[in-house]
Amino acid sequence: MNALDLVSSKYNLDPIPYELIVFKGQQLVNLEGQVAVVTGGATGIGRAIALKLADKGAAVMIADINEESAEQTAAEVKEISGESALFVTDVTDLEACDGLADATMAHLGPVDILVNNAGIAGSSGWESRSHSTEEDWKQTYQVNVIGMSNVTAAIRS
Ligand SMILES: NC(=O)c1ccc[n+]([C@@H]2O[C@H](COP(=O)([O-])OP(=O)(O)OC[C@H]3O[C@@H](n4cnc5c(N)ncnc54)[C@H](O)[C@@H]3O)[C@@H](O)[C@H]2O)c1
């Protein structure tokens, strides 16, 4: 299943026409030689982004808190573009983000593309609650806002 089909099936969309990104057989975007970091790249939207970047030729670093899924996705990326790496990262932890930046440089080279995708919608069990709790908001802020700042700062330095 390619990345477009993956997104379509996950969100019950009509299949996304390949013609939207390919014109007369020519790929409109070529990312060969580019290095991308995708946070939350192990599953869901992040995984779909990582596979699409790989499809366009990029080497992709999968940065995720979920090691098992990160390994699977990094292996899929490698099959597509030939180059991938993974770094188990909690984006709320600045030291881990510094480690991510160092590991990316060491394994793939300088970063060209950063996708700050890692995110949550609440603390554990939020799906089953009818109302958000203070903890939901605190954790969501930590991951979705502070996490994005941490990763961006680490990659830029
Ligand atoms: N799915 C939607 O409808 C929707 C809508 C609006 C925004 N978003 C945003 O899009 C992004 C991806 O959504 P999704 O549906 O693919 O979510 P998902 O839960 O399927 O995937 C999120 C990924 O982020 C990782 N992650 C979570 N916390 C992390 C942390 N602290 N450090 C590193 N990695 C962490 C998870 O392990 C997972 O692989 C999120 O930021 C989400 O808030 C999603």
Nearest-5° Cα angle at 84, 9 to 105: 135
How far apart, in whole angstroms, are the C-alpha atoms of residue 93 and residue 34? Answer: 26
Give ligand 1 pocket residues (Cβ under 6 A). 39-40, 42-46, 64-66, 89-92, 117-121, 143, 147
Residues 6+ positions from 99 with CB-CB distance below 8 Å: 87, 89
Q: What CATH number is attached to the domain comprising 49?
A: 3.40.50.720
Tens-digit pLDDT profile for residues 78-131: 999 999 999 999 999 999 999 999 999 999 999 999 999 999 999 999 989 999
Token representation of residue 145 = 């806002």
Pairing relation of β-strands 59-64 and 84-88?
A: parallel
What pLDDT is attached to residue 12?
75
The answer as to whether 59 is a domain residue is yes
Hey, whose CA ends up nearest to atom 25 of ligand 1?
40
pLDDT band at 10 (very low <50, low <70, confident <90, very high): confident
What pLDDT is attached to residue 24?
54
Domains in the chain: how many in total? 1
Structural domain of residue 56, as residue ranges?
Answer: 30-156
The answer as to whether 143 is a domain residue is yes
Q: Evaluate whether 55 touches 36 at the Cβ level (below 8 Å).
A: no
Tens-digit pLDDT profile for residues 23-74: 555 556 789 999 999 999 999 999 999 999 999 999 999 999 999 999 999 9
